[in-house]
Structure formats: C-alpha cells, structure tokens
Amino acid sequence: MIAQTPQPPYYAVLFTSLRTGGDHGYGIMSDRMVELAMQQPGYLGHESARDGLGITISYWASLEDIRNWKRQSEHWEAQELGRTTWYSEYKVRICKVERDYGFAANQE
C-alpha cells in the first residue's frame, strides 16, 4: 500500500537491505517495529517491499522525530539484531521530500 503523506516538506528514511538466511525472529520483530513506529511522534507512514533486496521507506515530520525513533529502546534492540543476525548488508539514507505527486486509478 502506498503511504498517504502530507504536503511537503517532510522526511524519508530509506532502508535497503540484504538478508541472511533463516528467519531467526525477524518476522515477529519486523511486525513489532511497524506497530511501534506508528506510535512515535512525527511518524507519517511507510512502504516496504522485498524481493531479494529489501526496501523500506518510512516518512517523518522532522529530523528530530527520526533521531528519536533511532534512539527508541526496542528499535535499538532490533538494530543490534539486524547487524548480528538478520542482515548481511544494509544502507540507511535520509532525505528531505520537497515535492511529491502521484496518480491513482479509480479514485473518486
């Protein structure tokens, strides 16, 4: 599903990753991180896809909101498990969204 974000400006955190083999609790933690992120001040939505390369984009109102999310204790635990267990490689990019537009068929 495409996230319904507000009018820019806002921020996007792009997380791209390559997984190691096996689940090792990843699915449960991934679901928990979505649930937890949705409760954070400044969270605007997210989009995610995985087909070999995983891409998750989360949207935030401010850079401070992103910093606070990074420091959230359960998220910190997930980051550690990502480095030690779940990912062979990942990259985080933080971008300011200055413009967005789109199209939706069958929208009334």
> In CATH, what number is assigned to the domain containing residue 78?
3.30.70.100
User: Does 57 have pLDDT greater than 90?
Assistant: yes
pLDDT of residue 108: 63
Residue 107 forms part of a structural domain: no
Q: Which residue type occupies 19?
A: R
Task: Identify any residues that bridge with 32 across adjacent strands, giving them in sequence order.
Answer: none
Residue 3 forms part of a structural domain: no
Give CA–CA dist 36/105, Å, rounded.
31
Q: Helical H runs in 16-108? A: 26-38, 63-71, 73-81
pLDDT of residue 2: 95
- For residue 13, which of 92, 87, 103 has the smallest C-alpha distance? 92
Q: Which domain holds residue 46?
A: 10-97
Residue 5 forms part of a structural domain: no
pLDDT in tens, 15-42: 999 999 989 999 999 999 999 999 999 9
